Amino acid sequence: MSEYPGSPAKPIQPAALIQIERALRLLLPADLYAAIWIDPSSKTLMQAFDHLRTLQYMLHNYVPPDVIDNPPVPGVPRYRWRSGSLMFTALAGFTPLSEAKAAEGQAGAEGLLRLLNDYFAQMIEIISKSGGKLLEFTGDALLVQFTSPRPDHELAQSIHAGLRMQRAMANFSEIQTIHGPRTLRMRVGIHSGQFITADIGTPMRMGHVLLGRAVQVAKQAEGAGKTGQVSVTQVIRDRIEQQYHLLPRGDHHWLIDDTLTADTLGEYDVTFKRRRLATSILFDRSVASLISELSVAIARGDTLPSYIPRSVLGLLVNSVAQRKIPPAFPTIPVIFVNLIGLPEAVDEALPEETEASVQCFSQAFALINGTVERQGGILQKVTYHSVGSEMLIHFGVLNPDEDDAKAAASAILSIQQHIEALTSPTVQGRPIKITYRIGFSYGPVFAAEIGEPRGRREFNILGDTVNIAARLMSQAQTNQVLLSEAAYQALKADYRCESIGALALKGKRQAASV
| pLDDT reported for residue 386 | 81
Report the DSSP beta bridge partners of residue 446. 462
Does domain 72-265 fall under CATH 3.30.70.1230? My reply is yes
| pLDDT reported for residue 11 | 54
Quick one: which of 45, 86, 398 has its CA closest to 235? 86
Please state the φ and ψ torsions of residue 513, each to the nearest 5 degrees: -70, 130
User: Burial level of 329, CB count in 10 A (0-12/13-18/19+)?
Assistant: buried
| pLDDT reported for residue 8 | 53
Q: Residue 398, CB half-sphere, CA atoms under 13 Å: how many?
A: 16
What is the rounded distance in angstroms from the CA atom of residue 192 to the CA atom of residue 214? Answer: 7
Residue 281 has pLDDT above 70, yes or no: no
Structural contact between residues 393 and 367, judged by C-beta atoms closer than 8 angstroms: no
Distances (CA, A) of 452 to 61, 113, 116, 134, 368: 9, 11, 9, 12, 30
Kindly report, residue by residue over 391-439, the tens digit of the pLDDT. 999 999 998 999 999 999 999 999 999 999 999 999 999 999 999 999 9
Dihedral sign, Cα of residue 97, residue 103, residue 107, residue 113? positive
Helix (H) or strand (E) segment spanning residue 194? strand 185-201
Domain 72-265 and domain 331-513, same fold? Reply is: yes
Residue 41 has pLDDT above 60, yes or no: yes
Residue 295: how many other CB atoms lie within 10 Å: 15
| pLDDT reported for residue 454 | 78
Q: Is the pTM of this model over 0.75?
A: yes
Task: Give domain limits for the chain.
Answer: 15-62+276-306, 72-265, 331-513
Superfamily of domain 331-513 in CATH is: Nucleotide cyclase, GGDEF domain (3.30.70.1230)
Q: Which amino acid type is present at position 313?
A: L
- 3-class DSSP string for 282-312: CCCCCHHHHHHHHHHHHHHCCCHHHHCCHHH
